[in-house]
Structure 1
Amino acid sequence: MEATTRVTTVSQLPLQNIPGTYGVPYFGAIKDRLDFFWFQGIETFFKSRVEKYNSTVFRVNMPPGPPGFPDPRVITLLDQKSFPTLFDIDRVEKRDVFVGTYMPSVSYTGGYRVLPYLDPSEERHTKLKTFCFELIKDNGRELFFEFSKALEESFLVWESSLAKCGTASFSTECVQFAFNFLFRAIVHKDPVAPGEASLGTEGGIYASLWTAPQLIPVTNIGLPHPIEELFLHSFPLPFILVESPYNSIFKFISTYATDALAKANELGLNRDDATHNLLFFLCFNAFGGFNIFLPSVVKAIAGAGPKLMRELAAEVKDVLATTGENKITLQALEKMALVNSVTYECFRLNPPVPYQYGRAKKDFIIESHDASYKIKNGEMLFGYQPFATRDPKVFVDPDTFVPKRFLGPEGEKLISSVFWSNGRETDEPSVGNKQCPAKDLVVTISRLFVAEMFNRYERFELAPSPVGPPSPTSLVTFISLKKKNTSS
């Protein structure tokens, strides 16, 4: 099934000019960038403009912009009706817009434009996305098994750290287990195991170091404002800063991923091209996504309190008792309705990819809930996903974590309004669209994470979050983990 969303071209809503301004050339973009990162922050940046223009569609400059980056001018789409235009490949081109209005140098990916930067109209897109589908089909069981195995190892690390120090870093250990399970399952080699290309315990750190400079231009990492603006937000960072860790991961994949690279060869892909793409799939898409999303799941559940934790633990226990299983299986997961609802609510509130971009292929009409607007060929469209998935005209109490939101027939209807994968949750990825090929697998693994946590623990507590705006460097830290049927 093709997962494109058709945008009505003949609207019954009043046609209006798109509000907003880009300001004075160059300086208007700088002002918007300062508002985005410092003076307002991301949430207020968008909310204030929605209120100012009385519209969820408006013009603005998106960081990073000048002096070292391309044209920052975008048309912003922030509601459930207009946002899906970004999924419609008949109307928008997705070429070179994966992380923003700019594309990091191809030196970060071995000189290749990797899959996320390709438009479905390009032949390599079809081959590389097929490669992704084949990897998932061939390794789905291993991914499920290796995730549980790696998480079990992390349980022991957290419990030992709590016993010795009174605290245990979820975030730090997440880097280790996410990297390990992905590489064990797809490359079929433990990164820590001895060998000519062994990564030891540095694999996750290497992946994080390589990913960071590609995202830093659109990220606030908490350094003093002048330093970030001058050195991190104004010009692209050179690949040479992370060349060594990248080459180490590349060597590991090239040496051990024989099955995956043989599959790529069958699909007519150059081995070097396939290796760089496989590295990107594993380290940027999958590893990066889990390191963003899983901490947000832990924080959301902790914030909901002990009652939800007791209910999750009870559901896991009851399902396993009913199925006669002594471990979490795919069949058992399908029966865990609350686990499923909690997972979708986490995707709704904190989609791991917050931004979506696409360039209009032609003139067409777009609709918000209240008006219609003319989009011109060549204009850049942008959507801030967490705003669209908190649309008050679709979700009750949209900014609140509601664990049971997706339960029952009415709750299930809302699943189509969950966006995180470059498509609706009810759409299917295909070689002809840009939806994440691992969309279903990522949801399953995320549900497995929740189920495994409450198969082992009755509840947990986190250290208080640091004062101030959220930062990618903010750590999630356990201060207690109460195991089932124990007093510890």
Structure 2
Amino acid sequence: MSASSSSSNSSPTKDDIPSQKMLPLREIPGGYGLPFFGAIKDRLEYYYKEGTENFFKNRVEKYNSTVFRTNMPPGPFMAKNPKVVAVLDAISFTILFDNKKVEKKNVLDGTFMPSTDFTGGYRVCAFLDTSEPSHAALKGFFSAQLGKLHNKFIPTFRSSVSELFVNLEDELSKDGKANFNNLSDKISFDFIFRLFCDNRSPDETSVGSNGPKSFDKWLFLMLHPLMTLGLKFVPSFVEDFLLHTFPFPYFLVKSDYQKIYESFNKYGSGILDEAEKYGITREEACHNMVFLAGFSAYGGCKVLFPALIKWVGAAGENLHRQLAHEIRTIVKEEGGVTFSALNKMSLTKSVVYEALRIEPPVPFQYGKARQDIVINSHDSSFLIKKGEMIFGYQPFATKDPKIFANAEEFVGDRFLGDGEKLLKYVYWSNGKETDNPTVDDKQCPGKDLVVLLSKLMLVEFFLKYDTFTVEASTILLGPLVTIKSLTKATH
């Protein structure tokens, strides 16, 4: 993990990419191996022999191409067809945003789809294609509700996050270190529940303090085919069989999910009462709201905040000092933490965008070709046939060395000044950072909220502390972050 706070070596944006007609048409390299066994071989290499990063890196080098054919987990039994065309550079990756050419029906989790038992029997909005009428209705409904909650974002988050720092300091004092993930999950759930449930604390409901664990259990049972636990005392072939061969049943989390559903249905009535205006039943709206809260919001925050703190912590004291100065100066000038103040924090925004670039919370994107498509990489074009599954591994696209100088380094001020032009190559939201989500696309409707919360996390951190140190490793689908030290603000 390398980090830097200077972008003096950043290259300009690549606006001179050759047009499609000028690029030679190349056969897509790679393959799928023997039926059934080829998919298992690729799965074992992906999870256990090479690891995710090397799995893709080795194939890019082998085929001398950022576009190639391979199998993606989970493979046989769990997926009807694990075959994909991988697109791993900043140019080819954007085909996944073209909803006229790519279908997104039931592809949120890739080559398999969890049972709808986990979502009340409904295919929630995230699994719907833009051509399905209910997609526009559901996305429009939740986009409108988020708009109405706009003024609650800052005070609700600040109220929730205050507990994080108290607990961090207590753990550090007691144990000499603090598990950031556990404390971050707790305040993330508290914020999300309060936001959707009329500022009601989860502790006042039947969910109680078990909310984060209930959502964790629900997420694991749905997403286990995409995970590896990395337990050294469990042989890889045993874990592979248990996690990637058959789906875990919904009944294991039924009572937990029902408690959460009933709480959102009761205390989220202010939002759900609006559903019928969009032609959506209250029941369907509530299951979609639980998914939005638990999968998209809470699940996203489980990766988002630890990754942000990991990279900022590793960047070192120089960047910390710059952030603290900007944040404290602007908050003082603006008379508090306001939308206006946050919009003026250019370095803070750049740091957030850089964290989203280097470790996006959702690294995978999928789509199925609606028609025969010719796509471009930097140096070639490729024909993808109608019905083929297209797979994008975002960290390769957003660390494309032909777009970003020092692409593997965390450069805190990368997006300042002319660097702002590079934002169109930041894709974490299932779209370009320079685009805004609409009901006709699959870009995250909470895109701006995610950026806001990331900025708020840094603001709250550096209003209280001058610098901090971290230790990081990887667990399941994201980073595990331990706070090693906190230096309180000297002002």
TM range (shorter): over 0.9
| Cα shift at 1:190 | 2.8
Partner of 1:297: 308
| Cα shift at 1:198 | 2.5
CA contact (8 A) 2:200 2:267 kept: no
2:424 paired with 1:416: yes
Deviations 1:418-462 (A, max 9, x none): 001110001110000100011111111111111111111111122
Of the three residues 400, 413, 438, the one matched with 1:404 is 413
Deviations 1:139-198 (A, max 9, x none): 12212211111111211111222223322221101111000011101111434343xx43
2:482 paired with 1:477: yes
| Cα shift at 1:346 | 0.2
How many residue pairs were aligned? 472
Partner of 1:101: 111
- For 1:57-206, list aligned pairs within 5 A: 57-194=67-204, 197-206=205-214
| Cα shift at 1:8 | 10
CA contact (8 A) 1:191 1:199 kept: no
Secondary structure of the equivalent of 1:136? Answer: helix
* Deviation beyond 6 Å, 4+ runs, structure 1: none
Partner of 1:394: 403
CA contact (8 A) 1:143 1:182 kept: no
Of the three residues 232, 236, 239, the one matched with 1:228 is 239
Of the three residues 413, 433, 436, the one matched with 1:428 is 436
| Cα shift at 1:10 | 5.4
Residue 478 of structure 1 aligns with an amino acid whose one-letter code is I
Residue 240 of structure 1 aligns with an amino acid whose one-letter code is F
Secondary structure of the equivalent of 1:476? Answer: strand
Distance 1:472 1:17, change over 3 A: closer
Secondary structure of the equivalent of 1:475? Answer: strand
Deviations 1:365-384 (A, max 9, x none): 11110101111110000000
Partner of 2:376: 367
Residue 485 of structure 1 aligns with an amino acid whose one-letter code is T
TM-score by length of 1: 0.94
Distance 1:374 1:473, change over 3 A: closer
2:356 paired with 1:356: no
CA contact (8 A) 2:229 2:475 kept: no
CA contact (8 A) 1:360 1:375 kept: yes
Q: Return the alpha-carbon distance in structure 1 between the equivalents of residues 377 and 480 of structure 2.
A: 37
Cα-Cα RMSD: 1.6
| Cα shift at 1:406 | 0.4
Percent identity of paired positions between Structure 1 and Structure 2: 44
| Cα shift at 1:265 | 2.1
Of the three residues 309, 318, 323, the one matched with 1:307 is 318
Partner of 2:64: 54
CA contact (8 A) 1:310 1:459 kept: yes
Q: Return the alpha-carbon distance in structure 2 between the equivalents of residues 478 and 266 of structure 1.
A: 47
Partner of 2:332: 321
Residue 292 of structure 1 aligns with an amino acid whose one-letter code is V
Residue 409 of structure 2 aligns with an amino acid whose one-letter code is T
- For 1:206-221, list aligned pairs within 5 A: 206-221=214-229
Residue 482 of structure 1 aligns with an amino acid whose one-letter code is T
CA contact (8 A) 2:29 2:68 kept: yes
Distance 1:135 1:249, change over 3 A: same
Q: Return the alpha-carbon distance in structure 1 between the equivalents of residues 171 and 98 of structure 2.
A: 48
Q: Return the alpha-carbon distance in structure 2 between the equivalents of residues 91 and 430 of structure 1.
A: 17
Q: Return the alpha-carbon distance in structure 2 between the equivalents of residues 357 and 277 of structure 1.
A: 21
CA contact (8 A) 1:69 1:236 kept: no
CA contact (8 A) 2:194 2:202 kept: no
Partner of 1:250: 261
| Cα shift at 1:226 | 2.3
Distance 1:307 1:9, change over 3 A: closer
Distance 1:472 1:366, change over 3 A: closer
Q: Return the alpha-carbon distance in structure 1 between the equivalents of residues 28 and 440 of structure 2.
A: 30
CA contact (8 A) 1:56 1:77 kept: yes
Of the three residues 277, 291, 294, the one matched with 2:288 is 277
Q: Return the alpha-carbon distance in structure 2 between the equivalents of residues 420 and 245 of structure 1.
A: 30
| Cα shift at 1:474 | 5.7
Secondary structure of the equivalent of 1:83? Answer: helix
Secondary structure of the equivalent of 1:11? Answer: helix
TM-score by length of 2: 0.93
Residue 148 of structure 2 aligns with an amino acid whose one-letter code is D
Residue 465 of structure 2 aligns with an amino acid whose one-letter code is Y
Gaps of 5+ in 2: 1-16
Q: Return the alpha-carbon distance in structure 1 between the equivalents of residues 257 and 287 of structure 2.
A: 10
| Cα shift at 1:473 | 7.4
Gaps of 5+ in 1: 1-6
Secondary structure of the equivalent of 2:466? Answer: strand
Deviations 1:266-320 (A, max 9, x none): 2221111011000000000001101111101111011111111111111111112
Residue 67 of structure 1 aligns with an amino acid whose one-letter code is F
Secondary structure of the equivalent of 2:32? Answer: coil
Q: Return the alpha-carbon distance in structure 2 between the equivalents of residues 204 and 127 of structure 1.
A: 29
Of the three residues 341, 346, 360, the one matched with 2:355 is 346
Partner of 1:3: none
Residue 239 of structure 1 aligns with an amino acid whose one-letter code is Y
Q: Return the alpha-carbon distance in structure 2 between the equivalents of residues 259 and 321 of structure 1.
A: 35
Residue 438 of structure 1 aligns with an amino acid whose one-letter code is G
Partner of 1:4: none
Residue 61 of structure 1 aligns with an amino acid whose one-letter code is N
| Cα shift at 1:92 | 0.4
Residue 381 of structure 1 aligns with an amino acid whose one-letter code is I
CA contact (8 A) 1:9 1:364 kept: no
Residue 416 of structure 2 aligns with an amino acid whose one-letter code is L
| Cα shift at 1:472 | 4.1
| Cα shift at 1:264 | 1.1
CA contact (8 A) 1:221 1:473 kept: no
Q: Return the alpha-carbon distance in structure 1 between the equivalents of residues 437 and 478 of structure 2.
A: 32
